[in-house]
Each structure stands twice: as C-alpha cells, then as structure tokens.
Amino acid sequence: MSNECNTVETLSRLEKKVDDLQANSLSQKNVLTFSEAARYTGFSKSYLYKLTHLQKIPCSKPAGKMLFFDRAELENWLLTNQVAHEEIENQASTYVTLNKRGGRS
C-alpha cells in the first residue's frame, strides 16, 4: 500500500511539473494554437470558438482551417474594458439612488 501511495504522489508531482512547463512555454511563444490559446486565457474551447465565430477576439486563419492567436494581441484584448473599482461603486450608487423600488419613501 505504501508503494501505491508513493507512486500516486510521484505521478501527481510529475503532472504538476508538466503543467508548469506547458504554462511557461506558452509565455515564451508569440503565436498560439487554438488549444494553447484556450489554456492561456482559461476559456473553455467552446467559449473560445464562440468568440472567434462572432469575431470578438483577434485571431487568424491562414490556411482556412486552423486558428492561430498572436499572444500580444490576445493579452491586449484580455485587458480591454477595464473598469476601476471606484467607478463601479459610483455606478451602483447612482443606480440605487435613481431606481428606488420597494424601499421607504
């Protein structure tokens, strides 16, 4: 039983190291495949397909089949529409003030 635990523990550590190496290699590449882009962004493949179909995310399809993503463009796209925390609080406060419902008058 002890050997089984050691084997499982060793496999778990090896899997983590492989995942770390893959993540590190993604940060070194300039052009990502579809699967790499999904892993890099953390999006599911189906959601990434939806974004590409709706042309909401920058990608290229040079041979008409495979999708490729420029890592720098992907990073810029991920950082679009940043909203400051204070701005969100102001919008929420304004909404509550203007749309009183069911509260005391």
Alpha-carbon torsion angle 62, 75, 43, 12, nearest 10: 110
Please give the pLDDT value at position 57. 94
Contacts with 68 (C-beta within 8 Å, 6 or more apart), sequence order: 31, 32, 33, 34, 59, 60, 61, 62
Which residues lie across from 60 on neighbouring strands? Answer: 68
The kind and range of the H/E element at 100 are none
pLDDT, mean of residues 84-95: 80
52 with 67: CB under 8 angstroms? yes
Contact 74, 37 (CB under 8 A): yes
The pLDDT tens digits of the residues spanning 12-70 come to 888 888 777 776 666 788 999 999 999 989 999 999 999 999 999 999 999 888 999 99
**Domains in the chain, please, with CATH?**
30-98 (1.10.10)
Q: What is the per-residue pLDDT for 37?
A: 94
pLDDT score, position 67: 94
